[in-house]
Amino acid sequence: GENVEQHPSTLSVQEGDSAVIKCTYSDSASNYFPWYKQELGKRPQLIIDIRSNVGEKKDQRIAVTLNKTAKHFSLHITETQPEDSAVYFCAGLSGTYKYIFGTGTRLKVLA
Amino acid sequence: GAVVSQHPSRVICKSGTSVKIECRSLDFQATTMFWYRQFPKQSLMLMATSNEGSKATYEQGVEKDKFLINHASLTLSTLTVTSAHPEDSSFYICSAVPSNNEKLFFGSGTQLSVL
């Protein structure tokens, strides 16, 4: 089955700087990679996703890059703001709709 | 996006009692729903896959008699924590995937505290 590793576990950046979170996956058959943002005590919210036939996808200040050969994908947040502070999870697919989540990255944006 | 509703949001119960958590897909049909458990500052751990009209599929290490799952309709799955103990205290969260759409949508979660 799929195994997803995520780094770093914690990340602190100054407001306005960029943040990068990386994930690696094991199943070469995986073809869909979402990123979720979870604020304390709340549900994870899908913020961006990418399919395996695309190398990069961008949505305003958020972007995701995918390297299928190396089996890793990254979340990039530019011009970070205090409201970006949250826990971010990557996920890989194992079987039909069975998502395996990374261990999470606690992002703190310092004002 | 699709809406998944989960109730209750918080429950406090005595040790030995059972607690039922409901997960509903409000604007789509979900033949499959998922139940996750999340400890503080940890990731989402898949407990089981709930299949409409058939038995749930449990992950390794999850006791099916402890965590009863019923998926009686295309919009409702329930998780019952039987004979709850303090170690069952956790954040339980359900999710579902709309048909023809691989995006996973989450319920709002249930914080269970067993005294």
Cβ atoms of B29 and B4 closer than 8 Å: no
Q: Does B106 touch chain A (CB under 8 A)?
A: yes
Best to test chain B binding among A38, A93, A97 (most B CBs inside 10 Å): A97
Contact A43 B93 (CB under 8 A): yes
Residue A10 pLDDT: 97
Nearest to B108 among A43, A89, A98 (CB): A43
Q: Across residues B17-44, what is the average pLDDT?
A: 93
Average pLDDT over chain A reads: 93
For residue A42, what is the nearest residue in chain B, using CA coordinates?
A: B108
Q: How far is CA B46 from CA A16, A102, B16, in A?
A: 35, 12, 24
- Chain A contact probe: residue of B7, B21, B43 with most A CBs at under 10 A: B43
A96 pLDDT exceeds 80?
no
The distance of A18 to chain B (nearest Cα, Å) reads 23
Instruction: Tell me which of A31-35, A63-67, B88-92 is least confident.
Output: A31-35
Token pair of A39, please? Answer: 């604020």
CA A30 remoteness from chain centre: 15
For residue range B62-84, list pLDDT tens digits in order.
999 999 999 988 999 999 999 99
CA distance B93 to chain A (A): 8
Question: ω before B8 within 30° of 0 (cis)?
Answer: yes
Under 8 Å between Cβ of B107 and B4: yes
Give the number of other CB atoms < 10 A from CB of residue A6. Answer: 21
Residue A43 pLDDT: 93
For residue A100 the two structure tokens come to 């395996």
Following DSSP, what letter does each residue of A10-28 receive, concatenated? EEEEETTS-EEEEEEES-T
B59-64 long-range contacts (CB < 8 A, ≥24 apart) are: none
- pLDDT band at A90, cuts 50/70/90? very high
DSSP string, A88-104: EEEEEE-SSS-EEE---
Q: Find the CB nearest A89 among B43, B49, B95.
A: B43
| Structure-token match 């089996």, residue found | A71
A43, A45, A97 member nearest B32 (Cβ): A97
